[in-house]
Structure 1
Amino acid sequence: MAFLENSRVEILGFAVALVAVTTVTAYFYLNKKKPKGSLDPEKFQDFKLVKRTQLSHNVAKFRFALPTPTSILGLPIGQHMSCRGKDSIGEEVIKPYTPTTLDSDVGYFELVIKGRFKYQPNQVKAFGMLAGGSGITPMFQVARAILENPKDNTNVSYLR
């Protein structure tokens, strides 16, 4: 009988300890504050470019370091940030970009950027357009310029 009582005391002690550990762990996990984002909506900030990957002749992926290896960008999903920099010909440009990374990607963020495009009449034989969202407006402008220029023989196809 004494053996059973000692076993019950040990099991009860173990159960109490397990509940305590679980409670403390849950408290810290649930009350863990999300790290503050690295962006300041009131001013431009400098971020160091750490890697550039060429994806096509005029598209590149840029990886920027955040202030610390554990920093997050803090931009809500699907939102854009205004970026200021110099383009390939040295002109200052300010444009909105949506990062391709999430806050689970700590210490850095990435932007995929298409290079500057200037349409010239008869530059190509045919122009295929695939666009949606905010990318639709530059395509409308290019298509309109082609269609309104009687000397431009470029064929235009558009898929949305």
Structure 2
Amino acid sequence: MEDKRELFKQPLHSIYIPCGLIIAGTLLFGLEYLPYSLTFIVGVCSFKYYEAYQRRSLIHKTQWRDLELIDKTLINRNTLIFRFKLNREDEVLDIPTGHHVACCFTINGKDEIRFYSPILNQFDAGFFDILVKHYENGVVSRKLAELREGQTVKFRGPFGTLDYVPNMAKKLALVAGGSGITPILQVITDIITNPEDNTSISLIFANESEKDILLKSEIDEIAKKYPDFEVNYTVTNAPENWTGSTGYVTKEMMQKYLPEASPENRMFICGPPGLKSLAVGLSEELGWEKDNVFCF
């Protein structure tokens, strides 16, 4: 149900209509009162515009903004979650599903830019998190790992081409690898928190080892609570007690764990270039139309 209180945050209902009514009422009493009404209206409008300026989003599409690091958490041997402070305690990072933000460091006189998908939660206010996997030769990931709380990083955004619409697919096939789970998790979260979105979700999540599976406890909790969400893990180096799949994503694996190719179904893929190329090729072999497959 739409919250009618949100209407009063729109210029039409909070400025234009009230001002029009004030002017109309003033003219009924007499034209001589109009200067006083206009003075009052200017004051109200100035306050409203100032209020809107104060509530503007800290993240800007074209301008770099310095955001303060307030926490970082080690997830595994080479992955951390970084938490950055927003403009206000009640501000929520509002970006389209599956989109990302740009992060910039100036290194040796050159701007190094990388894109990260925030880990979004509709109840998170005052901050946002990004999950970053550190690579041996990673330029930006190494700089992020060296950051201390209180230091700032340049961000702008959001960016992305996914135009997710609730119920755009009857069944959604998801293939993720490594830190590519973050935009995929945005999509999952958007679906399961929308009572009107009846999309059935199936996920294949590929990693090198069991220890490399990022956010596994969160994903397992979602699978436990939501019957329309299923996840299958596959690892290249499986331990002896491993009960999931092993090896790279295969055609047989996709046939078994993902919905069939159909005009009413969609597939989203995110991960390292090798995984994306592999999954796209396998989707074509399985009869998926290119327009129904999206790569982040």
In structure 2, distance between residues paired with 1:75 and 1:102 = 11
Determine the structure 2 residue equivalent to 1:40: 60
TM-score, length of structure 1 as denominator length: 0.52
C-alpha root-mean-square deviation of aligned residues, in Å?
Answer: 3.5
**Secondary structure of the corresponding residue to residue 67 of structure 1:** coil
Query: Following superposition of structure 1 onto structure 2, how do residues 141-160 of structure 1 map, counting pairs within 5 Å?
Result: none
For structure 2, the 5+ residue unaligned runs are: 11-54, 138-208, 210-234, 237-246, 250-267, 278-296
**Secondary structure of the corresponding residue to residue 31 of structure 1:** helix
Residues 92, 122 of structure 2: 8 Å contact kept: yes
Structure 1 counterpart of 2:9, which letter?
K
Residues 82, 95 of structure 1: 8 Å contact kept: yes
**Secondary structure of the corresponding residue to residue 38 of structure 1:** coil
**Secondary structure of the corresponding residue to residue 133 of structure 1:** strand
Determine the structure 1 residue equivalent to 2:176: none
In structure 1, distance between residues paired with 2:274 and 2:111 = 20
Shift of 1:84: 1.5
TM-score, length of structure 2 as denominator length: 0.30
Q: Assess, with a 3 A threshold, how the Cα gap between structure 1 residues 59 and 138 changes in structure 2: closer, same or farther.
A: farther
Determine the structure 2 residue equivalent to 1:81: 101
The answer to whether the aligner puts 1:96 opposite 2:115 as a matched pair is yes
For structure 1, the 5+ residue unaligned runs are: 1-25, 119-125, 142-160
Residues 38, 74 of structure 1: 8 Å contact kept: no
In structure 2, distance between residues paired with 1:60 and 1:86 = 21
Query: Following superposition of structure 1 onto structure 2, how do residues 1-160 of structure 1 map, counting pairs within 5 Å?
Result: 27=4, 29-33=5-9, 36-85=56-105, 93-118=112-137, 128=236, 133-137=269-273
Q: Assess, with a 3 A threshold, how the Cα gap between structure 1 residues 116 and 36 changes in structure 2: closer, same or farther.
A: same
In structure 2, distance between residues paired with 1:84 and 1:95 = 7
Shift of 1:72: 2.3
Q: Assess, with a 3 A threshold, how the Cα gap between structure 1 residues 114 and 92 changes in structure 2: closer, same or farther.
A: farther
In structure 2, distance between residues paired with 1:104 and 1:49 = 19
In structure 1, distance between residues paired with 2:106 and 2:134 = 11
Q: Assess, with a 3 A threshold, how the Cα gap between structure 1 residues 75 and 115 changes in structure 2: closer, same or farther.
A: same
**Secondary structure of the corresponding residue to residue 66 of structure 2:** coil
Q: Assess, with a 3 A threshold, how the Cα gap between structure 1 residues 69 and 82 changes in structure 2: closer, same or farther.
A: same
In structure 2, distance between residues paired with 1:115 and 1:63 = 16
Kindly, what percent of the aligned residue pairs are identical? 21
In structure 1, distance between residues paired with 2:83 and 2:118 = 10
Highest CA radius of gyration, 1 or 2? Answer: 1
Determine the structure 2 residue equivalent to 1:158: none
Greater RCO (CA < 8 Å, at least 6 residues apart): 1
Q: Assess, with a 3 A threshold, how the Cα gap between structure 1 residues 103 and 46 changes in structure 2: closer, same or farther.
A: farther
Shift of 1:130: 6.0
Structure with the largest fraction of helix:
2
Report the number of matched residues. 105
Determine the structure 1 residue equivalent to 2:49: none
In structure 2, distance between residues paired with 1:84 and 1:113 = 14
Residues 119, 130 of structure 2: 8 Å contact kept: yes
In structure 1, distance between residues paired with 2:113 and 2:97 = 21
Q: Assess, with a 3 A threshold, how the Cα gap between structure 1 residues 114 and 133 changes in structure 2: closer, same or farther.
A: same
In structure 1, distance between residues paired with 2:101 and 2:125 = 17
